[in-house]
Structure formats: structure tokens, C-alpha cells
Structure 1
């Protein structure tokens, strides 16, 4: 490893630690004013951001980057407006810092309170999605944390432009500019140094594909909040409304195929398969989706590709979907347990009993009943922009908003209380 790169990364982390200490006690008004300044700057300086993004896109196209990755990488004036609007939404959210999680007076008269406090320095390691650069900065700033941003080399120019704009905006506020920093370096060396900056970085959050997440989890000495890949499932129960099921399946798969909450598998109960599967295959074909199906699904159309074991494990992030006919709800749950990534599963049914059983048996971060998997999202849940969707059970699970970017501390107040035993 390059010693120079290591020193640069540790220097950025040290500055982040100082900024986090200065940021933590700031009141909500100061942080919100900084966020509004950031949002205004993103739209005012959109031309230079889009120019930098164009460089990234051209480089990605020349290297043969898949279309779904190009979609994630691309910015536009409209997307920048949406990103700025998300920053303003975060500013309008309640400040979690200082919130009393629980509090009471002990029998001995001590007053005990558990308060939310910032995590400190949060490192984000993510792939080619420049919107994450702004989302992460906004959420960490609002929750009183300093952020170290390490995006992929594919979005390097975009991320440099975005961070420069945000840091310049902070210069005119009472929030330290070092609350938002880009980790130096474009190769994997800087990522490794960030993962081993224990004592300077309090937590790492990886966002991206399975290989990135596994690498960070396995190699980091800094604590990690694991976000997971999105191999999501739509199960159409025997008591489903066919029109509702079609709408939910198409929306879950095609509304935006390149994101983690898109459906990658659909399962159909045998009792409704003859009615539903032919219509589903036709509707998916009309949207350009290739279906990878089991023998029973393939019996309805020669255009269905034979599904392999790997297909059911795959997060396609493209216009592909795996499919199977199952004999029961319990068989659907068994399939989900075997292949799902634990992100989001949906059931479409008119049976309250079936819905209740599905919810109780499926162990995923989110379970949808008669709704699209695409709703598993911090913005849709009212959290504002999200830092990621955690599929682990510690320290948080599901879409991670502001409260999930805090820890707690206990404050107890007495009147000269002494412990006797």
C-alpha cells in the first residue's frame, strides 16, 4: 500500500473527527440553514456538476458499462432538482440529536435519561450513484455527523464537483466545511485505508453490489452497518386480485429496474396460475422483460427462458426476472428463505389470513402486503433521503434515516447521590 495514500486518508479522517466534534452540539437551526445553502448551491451550480457528470458518462460508455449502471450514474437538471429537493426535505425533518429515547426517575431518586447522540465520523463506500453523495452528506450533517465519502472511480468527476459545491456552500454557514469530505484516491488503496482507520472513523456503511459489501464487511476493522443487495420477490397468492397483482408486479419490476427495491422474482400460487401467468408474461413482454422460469412457467410460453438455480439468487438490476409456480404459501416462503437477500418481499392477496401468515413467516427487512416492492425507500417512508437499506439486524434494519445515524448515551442526575453497595 502507498504510504502517501494512507497519510492522505488518515488526514481526511482526522479532519472529519474535529469537524464531528464541532458539529455535534450545533442546534437544529444552524444545521438546517447549512442544508438549505447546500440545496440552493446544487441548483445554482448545476451546469458545472452536469459537465463533470458528462465526463464520467462518456468514460463509462467507452468502457462498455451496462445500461443499468449508466442510468445510476447519469445526472440531469431534473435529477439535480430532485436531489436538491431531497436535501430540503431532510432539513424539514425533526432533529434526532438530543431526543429522549426513554427517561424516568429511579427508586433512589436519580433522574435517568437516554439521549440520541451522533455516531461521529461516518464513512460511506458506494458505487456509481452520485445522488448518494448528496443524500449521505445531507443525512449525516442533519444528524450531527461528519461524513467521509468514497464513491467509485466511475463517478469520480461527478463526486468531486458535488463535494466542492457542498463544501463551498458550508463556508458561508456555521457548519464546518470538513463535515463533508471526499476520501482522496481513485484506486482500491484508499478504500483499504479507510476501512482500517479504526479510532478515527466510527462506522462504515457500504452501498453497492454484493462483492463491494462483502469486501467491506470482511476486511474492515472499523465497525460496519451492512446494507444488502436487493433480490426482492413478489408472491401472487391463490386469493389475489389478478388486476391488482399485475399492476404490482409490473411496477415492482419495471418502474426503475436498476435499483435495489425492484422485484427480481415472482412466485404464483398454482390455483391462480392458469389465469395469472399468461397475462403476466404478456404484460412483462410488452415492457421488454425477459422471464427466466421453471418448468410450469415455461409451459405457458415458449419465450420463457429456462431458469437455473443461480437465476433465483440473482439481483439482475435489468429487464430480467425469475419466476416459478408454487403449490402453497408455505412453499413460496420456503423459496424466499432459500434465495432472497432479505430486502423486500411482497404478497398480493385478498386473504387476511394469508397476509398475516406471510408477514409472520418472511424474515426480511420489509414486507409489503398488496403494494409494490418499490416502496421500500427512505423517501417513500417519510424519512427524507436514506443513507442505505440495511438487511442486517444490528445496528438497524430497513431504510436508514436520521434516527439510524445516531447512537445513544445515558445521562443521570442526582443530588449528591452515593452508591452504597
Structure 2
């Protein structure tokens, strides 16, 4: 392969769109099999991997190649036939690159699903066509709505086991669509599939002449995600201040970080928070050189025309469009610590964008039953995997937006300072 062709392929790969999606569903709905099928149909697995899976399948007495073994990597998962950990897998087609988070279906692993779906552009919820919608299907739909995942795909799996009955598919689709209207689901697609046999995965199946929609892979390749990103509110959390210790470069001061939202261009007037000092962007640098604009999720270094005191944890934004500098936070919190519950009065470290502080729990307004959406206003604590609305007071102001407006500047984690464990993930509802 010539150097020119190699460079062209590298540039094309770098500029390809990236879709992050999470899978969810009840036990044995076929999540791992579906992901294995996607990896197989897109020729992403190596020959020796396939041979190993075929050997294990034969040793277990399976009459087919169990593609779920490609993702259920933990020994405990293989022994039990369930998914426990969040398994990340990567594959690509000529049109788009993908990162999959295979999240567990068990209710005791709600925190794992929250972790996997928190950065997803799309969520895949699987339903067994024989069982229809179950409690966990609704719970997963609610969690994806709570995490503001913009696109939702309901895959009605194992349609081959109900003889591809159109009425079964229609009943499940109608029931789920009705439930989704109670949630904030901007985009919903329903696809009948057989992950085991590959029907409607990479291509349309002849077994569903009554289905007029796209195959699952076609939908994943073409779903429009560019407009999901907030390109209006400029938010650039500063991660690191770059001052080269070089005798040839004496006046370089750059602010490195990842663009959370908005579009930055040289010449734009910007403001540094929390100081309120203003300047203009002199240049925007990347590892490949200067660029004319930066947008999410690019990692860049911003240089300003004026020398302003900016450090890690500060934020660059527009003068008339700034986040709230808030110490009183109301948020939905998913509790992830199994050793101790969240209680009013508890003190934790809080990590919000690139800013670190301490926080105290001032109040627990209610605990939410994610299966029934019932609010328990008498609750006194949040145990492992429980979700509730809390009031926090921080030691220093957080430069925050509402989570529904900005998933990056509206999200945070709580950390137990004695163990350094992440104990909660939070989504800001109000900040003042």
C-alpha cells in the first residue's frame, strides 16, 4: 500500500462519524448475541476468535455458534449465561465508527447500565417476542430517558420463535410506544429481529415482508446525531494550562480541554469563568495543527489574545451566555455504593467537568421507583442502585447547566474521600 493511500485511509478514518450506543434488556433477551452478530456481520472479529467461539460452543453442546461468547468475556458471565460488567466493543463500517456498551439487564446492576448509557447517543432495548414487554423493559426505557439518550431503538428479538407473527410485533410496538409517550423520548424506532439467525440485522429479512423499515445496521449507520449536540452554548472546561518550557517558545500560553458544547472560532469574544474577564480567541490548536473552528467533542488548546488568570477547573464561554456559578444544586442521583447508603448530612467529594470540590447532602426530596415511576417522599436514604432527587451544597461554585440542556456540564459524580470510590452519578435539575 502506497504512503498516499495509507494517509488517505487514515484521514478518512479520523473524519468518520462516531456513534456510541448502549444495549439493554432483560436476562436472556439476546443482547450479547446481538452484539456478537453485529461484530460477525461487519467482519470485525478475527478468525482465531471465531474458531475459539466455535470450539466453546461445541464443548457446551450448542447446535449453533454462540456469538454471545464474543462479548460475555468474564468467566462468571459464561458460567451463568448472563452479562454482569459493562463490556465495550468497537467496530466500523465504511460509513461510521461504533462504540458499543453492552450493559447488564439485572436490576442489581442498574449502576452499570447508568455508566454505560451516560455517554451514549443511542440506546438499544431488546425484548423477547415470546414474553413481550416486562418490568425491566420499562425500567430501561425510563433510565435512557433520565440520562437524556436522544435516540431509542426497540429490537423485538426472537421473532423466529413466534413464526414471524406480525400481530405479535405490532402489539409489543404499540404497547412500548404508548409507554414512551410518558417519558421524554425524542426519537423511537422499532425493529423485528432474530439476533441468532441474523434477520434484519445487517440486511432486510425475507421473513418480514410486512416490515417496511430499515435493517438495524442501516439505521445505526444513518441515524442523524450531529444535531443532538448542543452547538449554541459555548462551554469549554479548562483541563490543563500549557506553558512550554522551551527557550525557543517564550510567549505561548494555551488552555487545553475538550469542547463540551458550542462552536469556538479564532476572533470570537469569550469570557473566563468564574473571574468574568473577557478576551478574544487568538488561535485554536490540535495535535495535527491549527484549526478554524472547534466543536464537541474535539480536544483542543485555545489561545487568547490577552493574558488572563485561568487555571484548571475554570471555563471559557460567551460573555452573554454563561453557565450558572452555583453552590446549591438539585439533582437526580443514582447511588452506586454497596457499602453505605446516601444519607442527608453525608459529605463527599464532587467532580464536575474539570472542577473538583466537596459537597454535603442537604436534603432527599424523594426516592423514585424506576419500575412504577412512584415517588417515595418519606425515604430517608438511597441504597445501592436506587435513584432519588437530592439537594447538595458545594464548597465552591460549580459552573453548571441543567442536564437536559447539556449532558456534560449538567452531570457530575460523587466520590467517597476515604476510599476514593465513585459512589454516585448525578444529573443536575436546578443550579443556583
> What is the TM-score with the length of structure 1 in the denominator?
0.30
Q: Give 1 or 2: higher strand fraction.
A: 2
Q: Give 1 or 2: higher helix fraction.
A: 1
